[in-house]
Structure 1
Amino acid sequence: MPGMTTEQTDTTPRVSPSTTSGEREALEQWLDFHRATLARKCEGLDDAQLRTPSAPPSDLNLLGLVRHMAEVERGWFRHTLAGEKAPWIYSTKEDPDRDIHTVEGDTYEEAHATWQAEIAHARTLAATRDLDDLGAGEHPKGKKFNLRWIYLHMIEEYARHNGHADLLRERIDGATGD
């Protein structure tokens, strides 16, 4: 029925952050919460649905958001925190937004696996550092960032894009929910 919405089915485990944890634990829990939220927004959809754009002229879509967040994880943790020279995953000089610009043949299976690998690598890189540790790499704007700032920025980045994901999911099949 038009105007009807359905509650989204969620199979991705998502733990609510503790209300009494210390700073680092809280930052890591909130980041993981938002990572899981994006995965939940993609559940139960096929690749064509995941490539469904929001509304013209934007071509923003759920698959593109997952690919974008894989790039963001790589950029902040590998490049800025660890100083790694890892190449971008999707973005190119010709199309710096190739992560968002999805085409037929781009799959969620590949994007999700890549995103999860970047998350795992990010966790490894952050595990041995203190929140005040400055990254070994330099951001393209020439600034240094400590791990605390990176965690806070990543939470903000996911929260903003999860808002986009809410709207995209509702447009695709009417599903709403956290």
Structure 2
Amino acid sequence: MTWTAPQIKRREFPAAAGEREMLQGWLDFHRDTLLAKCAGLTPDQLVRTSAPPSTLTLLGLVRHMALVERSWFRERFAGEALEDLYDLERNFDADFDDAEPAGAQTDFATFRAEVDAADATVRDRGLDETFEHREGTLNLRWIYVHMIEEYARHNGHADLLRERIDGATGD
């Protein structure tokens, strides 16, 4: 049996909550949304460039967001020294460009592992905790807002890609 991207039960975002719960809830909602846009597709469909002339694919988005999760939460905020997920030295866009059908299941597992690791890294950290970055001093709150924005933008891409692959639409 051929692997397909798993069905996702998207978590609901909190309607009224404290700041941390609200930020985490919206981030989880957008993480789930990306995976929901991929649900039921085969590896070949996940790497289909369905909106020419763009070379963007759904699997490329999953790989990219795994990298972004790792980069912001673990490497930049927590200062962890981690091996690269992809060969970005060879190709700055390897997360997007090197997506292959044979690696789809592994790439989904990597995404989930990076999300879990990111959440574990910041679970007991305060939103006002800071770190230095080229933009200056940033805090964990900034990362949450940035990640929600990053997912929202890419989920818009995923909407279009999915509709072009099999006609599926949704929120």
TM-score for the superposition, normalised by structure 2: 0.91
Determine the C-alpha separation between the residues in 2 that align with 1:122 and 1:79.
10
Aligned-residue offset at 1:98: 0.5
Partner residue, 2:3: none
Partner residue, 1:143: 136
Distance 1:158 1:91, change over 3 A: farther
Structure-to-structure mapping, 1:148-163, within 5 angstroms? 148-163=141-156
Determine the C-alpha separation between the residues in 1 that align with 2:78 and 2:44.
36
State which of 112, 115, 127 in structure 1 corresponds to 2:111.
Answer: 115
Please list every run of 5 or more consecutive structure 1 residues that lacks an aligned counterpart in the other structure: 1-9
CA contact (8 A) 1:51 1:102 kept: no
CA contact (8 A) 2:127 2:140 kept: yes
User: What do you get for the CA RMSD once the two structures are aligned?
Assistant: 1.6
State which of 46, 49, 54 in structure 1 corresponds to 2:45.
Answer: 49
Structure-to-structure mapping, 1:33-112, within 5 angstroms? 33-112=29-108
Partner residue, 1:3: none
Aligned-residue offset at 1:102: 3.1
TM-score for the superposition, normalised by structure 1: 0.88
Q: Which SS does the other structure have where 2:137 is aligned?
A: coil
In terms of fraction of residues, the more helix-rich structure is: 2
Residue identity over aligned pairs, in percent, reads: 54
Mapped pair 1:166 → 2:159 = yes
Partner residue, 1:20: 16
Determine the C-alpha separation between the residues in 1 that align with 2:82 and 2:137.
18
